[in-house]
A and B are shown apart, each in its own frame.
Chain A
Amino acid sequence: MFNFAFDSIGEAFMMQSANGQYHGIYVWSVVFIVLTSLLVTFFIYKRKIRNIGKKIK
C-alpha cells in the first residue's frame, strides 16, 4: 500500500499509464489550479480583513 508508484521524479511528472498515454499534464494542471485557487482566496480574504481592520481603527 505504501510503495511508490513511480521510479523517478520524471516518471511521476509524466505519469505514463499502461495504455501508453501520459496523464501528468492533466493531473498536475488540476493540482496547480486547486492549490492556486485556495491560495488566492486565502490571500484575498486576509487582505480584505486587514484593510477593514485599518479603516475601523
Chain B
Amino acid sequence: MIKKFIHQFASPKTYLFQVDRAYPYIFYASLFVYIGSLFWGLFLTSEDFVQGNSYRIIYLHVPASFISQSLYLAMAFASAIFLIWKVKLSAYLVKSIAPIGAVTTFIALVSGSIWGIPTWGTWWAWDARIISTLILFIMYLGLISLHDSFTDYEKADKFLAILVIVGSVNIPIIKMSVEWWSTLHQTASITVTEKPAIDASMLYPLFGSIIGFSGIVFCLVILSSKLQILLREKNKSWVKDYV
C-alpha cells in the first residue's frame, strides 16, 4: 500500500507540476525572510562583546553550514527510498541535491575561513569540524563526478544511492566533532535540549536567516530537479507538452 501511494504521488510528472505551482510562493517568501533577517542581523543587533562586529558573519555561515548537512541527510533519505521502493524520482532528487549541497558546503567553508581570520588569527586550522566539513564538500564533488562517469543511468543511480548512505556516517561526525575533540571551532550555540547560549536579540535574526536561506536553497533544489527530470524524461510525450 505504501509502495502504491509513493509511486502514485512521486511520479516525475506530478512532482514537476506541483513544484512549478509552489515555486514562486516559496521563492518570494524565503527571499523576504532572508533579506529581512540579514538586515536585522547586520544593522540592528548590537556588537558582540567578545568577537566585536565579526560575529555578524554568523547570519551567513550558520545557515549554510546547517543546510549543507541537512541536504546530505535528505540525499540519504531519498537514496533509501530509491533502494527500497525503486522510486525513480528519489534517484533524480539524489542527483539534483548533490551540486546544491556542494555550493552550500563551499559557502560554509569559505565564510568560516574568513570568520577565522579576526576570531582565531588564522583562516584555516586542521581542526576536526573543519576537516569533516571539507570531507563533506569532497564527498559532494565525488558523488557528482561518479554519477557523471556512468553512461548507464540505472547503474549510476544505484551506485550513487549506496555511496550516499555509506557516506552519511560523516554527518554525526561533523555534528559531534566539537564535542568529541578539542577544537578551535566553538561548540553549538543552539541545541534542542538546552537554552540557547546567545541573546534573543541575536537569536531571532539567526532563526530568520536559517529559514530564509533554507527556502532559497529549496528553490535551487527545485530548479536542479526540474533540470534532471527534463534530461531523463525528454523522450516522454508529456515532457514535450510541458515545455
How many residues on chain B are close to A (CB under 8 Å)? 41
Cβ contact within 8 Å between B223 and A34: no
CB distance from A5 to the nearest CB of B (A): 6
Cβ contact within 8 Å between B226 and A49: yes
Known: A4-B43, A18-B52, A38-B216. A49 touches B223 (CB 8 A): yes
Cβ contact within 8 Å between A16 and B220: no
A21, A27, A42: the one within 8 Å of B57 (CB): A27
User: Do most interface residues of chain A lie in helix, strand or loop, or is the interface mixed?
Assistant: helix
Cβ contact within 8 Å between A30 and B117: no
Cβ contact within 8 Å between A30 and B220: no
Residues of B close to A15: CB separation below 8 A? 52-54, 56
B155 at the interface (CB under 8 A from A): no
Looking at chain A, what size class is its interface with the partner chain? 35 or more
Q: Which of A12, A19, A37, A41 has the most CB of B within 10 A?
A: A41
Cβ contact within 8 Å between A19 and B220: no
Question: A46: nearest residue on chain B (CB-CB)?
Answer: B223
B22 at the interface (CB under 8 A from A): no
**Which residues of B (188-239) have their CB < 8 Å from a CB of A?**
201, 216, 219-220, 223-224, 226-227, 230-231, 234, 239
Known: A4-B44, A15-B56, A17-B54. A26 touches B106 (CB 8 A): no
Residues of A at under 8 Å CB distance from B? 1-6, 12, 15-19, 21, 23-24, 26-27, 29-31, 33-34, 37-38, 41-42, 45-46, 48-49, 52-53, 55-57
